[in-house]
Structure 1
């Protein structure tokens, strides 16, 4: 059986166990939702393969999109990875450690299949980028930007996401981040309601974020579509990210995104968020 078929069969089995609903009754909806990211990853790989690099020596016009380099700069800042040297970061906890809030099967598939898929695509895009740079094909370089943003963002966003969670975590934050939340949102409860509302309201696939604005020295809540990086999209340094693609919760929470967002607050690693906040403020000179 093909890997895709095995993946779908595993999803169907787990969904039946969790919901007690006959898979045939909801199969069409399940496949559309739970397989959406796998399809997006595959489509982006095909997009990269389809970009044709011109032969060296042809007349070149235009300018390279500066956001191409920015994607790799953000990845290096988070992971220390040079362009093209990308790998799956190990989790600091077991796949089962976030139970019962996020189930083991979701964590296994999410980390080893989806995140790895972004990395594979990113490395393929980097190879094509190097070819385009050698040929000085600016059009091809810029055409690769959507792949850099999608796959590079997927790698970056997920890396932050894994560190934002921890077993036996959750509750209310302490330290500088707690003071900043109270200052910028009025209270932790007010922050929680706003963050939850923005995350639940993401149309289609995307992320809910708590970020830091270096210019204003303030916290802000924002959402991003698909795998768009927060800093590239809104100019905010990412502190806390919540993946609301349906693959991140569908097996366990089905279409009840609000329940998943509520459960997420039980696994937030506030020590990590606080550390990110302190580093971001220091880098901004505050």
Structure 2
């Protein structure tokens, strides 16, 4: 594990030198190690999937399959139109450096092409083993795959939403129906901003800050999720706006100042996308 982390640090050092000309020797390696945490988690999950052994048909014991497995694939299909196992990296609708100076192009490139792709690779591997387990009727193996499907499927889903939630020359205050909903749910945009920022900064370890829609109460709520847990499965909220607060998403630029990163995020929020998500969520809920 230490060798894998050092190898990833070496790649980041080379990339940083190519793109910025910064003397890497002047930057503490623990900063890169923090940025490598997600890559390590992805590799560990790949090993976890590989270690699950599916019993032969007729040997496996029956049981109840966790409904979260089907829910995870259903949410991915609703967002991306992808059938189970047919997952691919969605292209960005803007250049890697288009969100600068708020989010660096180097972070965006590594985040999108390396980390997000890693989730997809693991999700495909987990799905293949799930098909094998289903053929053998090995419910134990199916349920053992849930953490991998939830982590990697959530990583795929959450990042897909995150990319669309941002845009160049965006930010500011929202307009339209979502602006009214924010006022009704939180009192004012500033109140929402304060609460969303506090929740996102306050996530313990790695996770996400979310603005979600509650179908039952027809209102907006702020919530947080650990690691890559999907908002809808965790809290029953439809995701409208998500902020990745894993250290890899900001550490190379903001170091340990997560609050500065959260503040900068408000300069790139694509409120048109949030409005569209809000409208669709309300329609689907019959409101």
TM-score by length of 1: 0.95
Query: Does the 8 Å contact 2:60/2:136 carry over to 1?
Result: no
The residue number in structure 1 matching 2:68 is 67
Query: Does the 8 Å contact 1:14/1:251 carry over to 2?
Result: no
Aligned residue pairs, count: 282
Segments of 4+ moved more than 3 angstroms: 10-21
Matched, 1:110 2:111: yes
Note the C-alpha offset of 1:6: 4.1
The residue number in structure 1 matching 2:245 is 244
Query: Does the 8 Å contact 2:151/2:227 carry over to 1?
Result: yes
Note the C-alpha offset of 1:61: 2.5
Deviations 1:215-255 (A, max 9, x none): 01010000000000000100000000000000000111011
Structure 2 gaps of 5+ residues are none
Query: Does the 8 Å contact 2:170/2:268 carry over to 1?
Result: yes
- Once the two structures are superposed, the pairs formed by residues 83-162 of structure 1 within 5 Å of their partners are 83-162=84-163
Deviations 1:257-280 (A, max 9, x none): 000000000000000000000000
Q: Distance in 2 between matches of 1:59 and 1:43?
A: 26
Structure 1 gaps of 5+ residues are none
Which range is displaced more, 108-117 or 2-11? 2-11
The residue number in structure 2 matching 1:178 is 179
- Helix, strand or coil: the match of 1:133? helix
- Helix, strand or coil: the match of 2:98? coil
Q: Distance in 2 between matches of 1:207 and 1:21?
A: 32
TM-score by length of 2: 0.94
**Alignment RMSD:** 1.9
Query: Does the 8 Å contact 1:214/1:236 carry over to 2?
Result: yes
Q: Distance in 2 between matches of 1:191 and 1:18?
A: 38
Deviations 1:142-188 (A, max 9, x none): 00000000000000000000000000000000000000000000000
Note the C-alpha offset of 1:14: 8.3
